[in-house]
Amino acid sequence: MLFNTSQFILLFLPVTFAVYFWLNRKKQILAAKAWLVTASLYFYAYWDIRFLPIILLSMAFNYAIGTGLAQGYQRKKNTLGMLHKSTNKKTILAFGIACNLVLLAYFKYRGFFIENLNHAFDTSFSEPKIILPLAISFFTFQQIAYLVDSFRGETAEYDLLNYSLFVTFFPQLIAGPIVHHREMMSQFRSRWTLLPRYRNILLGLFIFAIGLFKKAGLADTFAQWANAGFDGTQQLSFYAAWATSLSYTFQLYFDFSGYCDMATGAALLFNIHLPINFNSPYKAIDIKDFWRRWHITLSRFLRDYLYIPLGGNRLSISRTYVNLMLTFILGGLWHGASWMFVIWGALHGGALVINNLYRLTNLEMPKALAWTITFLFVNVSWVFFRANTMVDAMNVLNGMVDIKSAFSTNAAIVPTAELAWGGWFSDVLLQSVPATMIGYIIPFFAIILAFALITLKNAYELAEGEWNKTKLWSGAVLLSIGIYLTVCSASKVFLYFNF
């Protein structure tokens, strides 16, 4: 079930909300939490019920291991007065992490491993056709972090119901944010979350509606041009290649950022504050700044549970750079079983190394130039992230530097398709603009609009700074939701569901 469907907006969300707070008003607190867990599991199983046992077994296994590690830590602390971790606990932690990674590897990387094994050794092992369970990367990372923190003695003894809610809470279940037990468990146990709060409802609807506009009005429109360029077989000209790469750059941002806005907004209806996952990343003025703003919770996980355990920046400079490269290569591989993701991760790791070396010179770069270089790098690296093969990536990149074609290309070959926000717009445009110009006008007008939008305040800044206007904004955006549901058909995919 997707956030941008009428089933979710008009049925699942209001029913879940109403029953949850009705049970709380009746002082049936445990029943209300159980209802929210049940509703979240239904939300997860709606796509394919066959994968429901996987998340249930994963939760039960990690809860048992994590509870054992936390209790063992407390016993050690109380009886010996010290915080030493026994070899036995390390073995249990290693076993728990290994089981999580094996589960992830089986579903996500088995085919990739066999494909590369066949290629490297000229073997002919059959590649299994395995459907990737929804959200397995997200709930696996979330629970690995829980195990590590239990080993460190940083978790309390949570009950199974609260732990289940921590893992399955539907706004963040499918594509994040990757939440941390420290920021969630206290909210699930707090009495302040038990009754509906007018301000949170308004802010939640406000943020949700902004995310819905990003997804339905912007990301799905850019998707048409990105797909036409990346999935087509034609050689791309200069304009077509730039339209393709920039369309995907904005599609991915508005798709994932929109999803996170909707997740945050839906959670606020239940008085739950999810961590901010995007903070206007295309405003970044260097690659380090970009990763402070893009997919913030993934960056946090990679830093705390991979980069720092590898040694972080505590060792030599060369080792620090090796740790950066390994972290981002593995971060790229987390996104998918493809060498294209590995290349993308290596590019970002290399960019961070170069950024650190540049900082050693103490030279200051003009902010406009710094932003331009950062954005262009991010745009080029997304080409590898999106392309299915190196051939597809080079087709786009070659077109982007084919200056000669900029002066000889027929505009009609620029990839275009019917606009997502309504066929009537295309019809009006075709009546007033020559057909050969459509290829230029539509995508580049949308790209210019996107550049303008990313300079504005994001949803969270608007929600915090415009509270006096929020009621008016909420009414306007709710009306927009109704128009959207009436006129437009819902997209069937969020990009990050694939990762």
Q: Is 335 a catalytic residue?
A: yes
Residue 134: C-alpha distances to residues 131, 172, 190, 197, 414 (Å)? 9, 12, 30, 32, 35
Q: Could you check whether the bond before residue 196 is cis, i.e. omega within 30 degrees of 0?
A: no
Angle at 130 between CA 128 and CA 134, to 5 degrees: 165
Distance between CA 278 and CA 466 in Å, rounded? 19
Q: Where are the alpha helices (DSSP H) in 232-295?
A: 238-269, 287-293
**Catalytic one of 180, 181, 335, 348:** 335
Distance between CA 372 and CA 384 in Å, rounded? 19
Q: Are 9 and 485 in contact (CB under 8 A)?
A: yes
Angle between the N-to-C axes of helices 238-269 and 435-453, in degrees from 0 to 180, rounded to the nearest 10: 40
Distance between CA 357 and CA 355 in Å, rounded? 5
Q: Of 455, 497, 473, whose CA–CA distance to 205 is shortest?
A: 473
Residue 104 tokens read as 């992830």
Q: Alpha-carbon dihedral of residues 149, 276, 451, 285, nearest 10 degrees?
A: -50
Distance between CA 130 and CA 107 in Å, rounded? 6
Using only C-alpha atoms, the chain has a radius of gyration, in whole angstroms, of: 24
Q: Which residues are known catalytic residues?
A: 335
